[in-house]
Amino acid sequence: MALNFEDHSPTIFYMKNYVYFLILFLNGFSLARSQAQSPQWHFLGDTIIEQTWSTNVLSYLDGDAPYVAFEQFDDSFLSYWNIRRFDGTSWAPVDTNGLGVHNFQWLGANANGNLQIAYFDQDSMRFGLKRLVGSTWQDITKSPRLEHYPYLASYAFDGEMFYAAFPDLTLEDKISVFAFDGNDWSAVGQTGFSTGRVHSVVLKISNGIPWVAYLDRSLGNAGMVKKLDGNNWQVVGNQLFDGDVHGRMDMAVSNGIPYIAHADSSTQFRASVLKFDGSNWVSLGQPMPAASTQFLKLAVDGPIQKPYILVEENGPNLWGLSTLVLEGANWEYVGAKGFIDNYWNLEFSINNGVPMVGYSRSPFGGGASVQVFSPLSAAPEPLPPLIAFAVSPNPVVGKTLQIQMASEENLNAVVQIYDLEGRLKWKSNTMIEKGNSNLAFNIGTLASGSYLVQLKSASGKVFGNKWFIVI
């Protein structure tokens, strides 16, 4: 399974963090601490997988054993990849000999259970596949050269098959699907089979049959689902809904039954879930209690066909990720609302009725994490001290960055500033005092532009990130 990259602008991130900062202060930390102490959602293994700079998280669930791959950077900002497997007790490293550094997009396994990872090589403009054989990653295939970069591509593995679906720029951004069958690459069905330009592409394989969902711009951003029937892509149930360019959509296919989740102007940006009953798309459940959302992911507990949805709630008193499950005719929260408040690169899955969320904790790193909804183990890690901070004024005028702090205890901290390309531009060690305080830093060396300030402990635990602008 791979993680979606959401288009969060610096302005959106700043507003999100600023609102959350105000909530923390108005509630005297009670909201955030009560969520952190929830006995329901917790880190798998009761620990963050990786505390240091990590991004581009990919995850794969092999039975009861999850794998997580993530990108890291050394002190010279050279990237490398790590892969971990949860062995029931801890996150054990997986061999990365021969893995190299690529734009990895999808993690999974072939029919024999060999771990494999897909990527797109922008230099050669080819899809690629690597597989772990013994203790070494081997190159399995590279596709024929593409004329254009496959933006918004969606990937899937099925046995020895490797699929990629994407808006095909050579065909006016209509959707095409290509696959590697273990020997050769070929188009899957006809190419450019959408009516017009597409976005929000989702590719799934169920019982050996490929399915795609997408928004078609030429049909007013309508939601469409198609499945491969022989060599033809057939529409499933006609148009689902009238979407819009800012809408969100995801698809799950469980035992040949497709489900769609979407949030757009037709739903006042509240999440809605549809199921195809063989003839029509049917709305599931009463309207959700969750607030409007800018992000969603859908998963289905296959044995009992029970849908779960992960949404980012955007309300006046809550901003964070929540999970809901359909119980009868009602959507009910699974555990605490807003149980993750700082995230990037999300994956959502269900394993024997246990929801699991993999993510990194900020756009520029901050640790790779997996949370599960299940009882805590006998000895969970102590909770880190709660820190809240904000940049004000923002934009920053002049040479002084002012940070308002609130901390549960005295601690040594590191303040780091990154540019939009993730390069470290400024760093300072500081002492944070218990309670409320104001910090001021001279950033006269920074040029005008947008930056991310990251606050972490001396041991490397990231407390949060805030966007700011220098003018």
Tokens matching residue 99: 């893995």
Instruction: Name the superfamily (CATH) of residues 10-373.
Output: YVTN repeat-like/Quinoprotein amine dehydrogenase (2.130.10.10)
Model confidence at 29, in pLDDT bands (50, 70, 90)? very low
pLDDT confidence band for 35 (50 / 70 / 90): very low
Contact partners, residue 201, CB within 8 Å, separation at least 6: 152, 153, 154, 165, 166, 167, 175, 212, 213, 214
- 31-58: average pLDDT: 64
Cα 265 to Cα 282: distance, rounded to the nearest angstrom: 19
Q: What is the mean pLDDT of the chain?
A: 83
> How many Cα atoms are found within 13 Å in the side-chain-facing hemisphere of 412?
5
Q: Which helix (H) or strand (E) holds 204?
A: strand 198-206
Q: Is the pLDDT of residue 420 over 80?
A: no
Q: What is the pLDDT of residue 325?
A: 95
Q: What is the pLDDT of residues 443-463, one digit of tens each?
A: 988 988 888 888 877 766 667
295 pLDDT above the threshold of 60: yes
User: Is residue 12 helix, strand or coil?
Assistant: helix
Confirm or reject CATH 2.40.30.200 for domain 387-470, answering yes or no. Answer: no
pLDDT for residue 399: 86
Q: Averaged over 25-37, what is the pLDDT? A: 34
Rounded-to-integer distance, Cα 210 and Cα 217, Å: 22
Amino acid sitting at position 302 = G
Amino acid 153: pLDDT: 95
0.75 exceeded by pTM: no
**Could you tell me the residue ranges of all domains in the chain?**
10-373, 387-470
Give whichever of 73-77, 252-256, 409-413 has the largest mean pLDDT: 252-256
The pLDDT score that the predictor gives to residue 422 is 66
Mean pLDDT computed over 54-75: 84
Q: What residue ranges in 239-374 does DSSP mark as E strands?
A: 248-254, 257-263, 272-276, 281-283, 293-301, 306-314, 319-327, 330-333, 344-351, 354-360, 368-373
Structural tokens at position 108: 């999974």
- If one compares 251 and 381, the residue with the highest pLDDT of the two is 251
Please tell me the predicted confidence (pLDDT) of residue 169.
Answer: 94
Model confidence band, residue 138 (pLDDT cutoffs 50, 70, 90): very high
Read off the pLDDT band of 31 (50, 70, 90): very low
Helices (H) and strands (E) in the chain, counts: 2, 35
Other CB atoms within 10 A of residue 148 CB = 12
Look at residue 421 in the predicted model and tell me its pLDDT.
64
What is the C-alpha to C-alpha distance for residues 203 and 213, in angstroms, rounded to an integer? 7
What is the pLDDT averaged over residues 108-134? 95
Q: How much is the average pLDDT of 55-83?
A: 84
pLDDT for residue 151 is more than 60:
yes
Pick the most confident of 65-74, 322-331, 404-413: 322-331
Tokens read off for 120: 């797109």
Distance, CA of 158 to CA of 141 (rounded, Å): 16
Give the CA-trace dihedral at 36, 40, 44, 46, to 10 degrees.
50
Per-residue pLDDT band at 143 (split at 50, 70, 90): very high
Give me the mean pLDDT over the 164-174 stretch. Answer: 96
Name the range with the highest mean pLDDT among 29-33, 72-76, 155-159, 371-375.
155-159
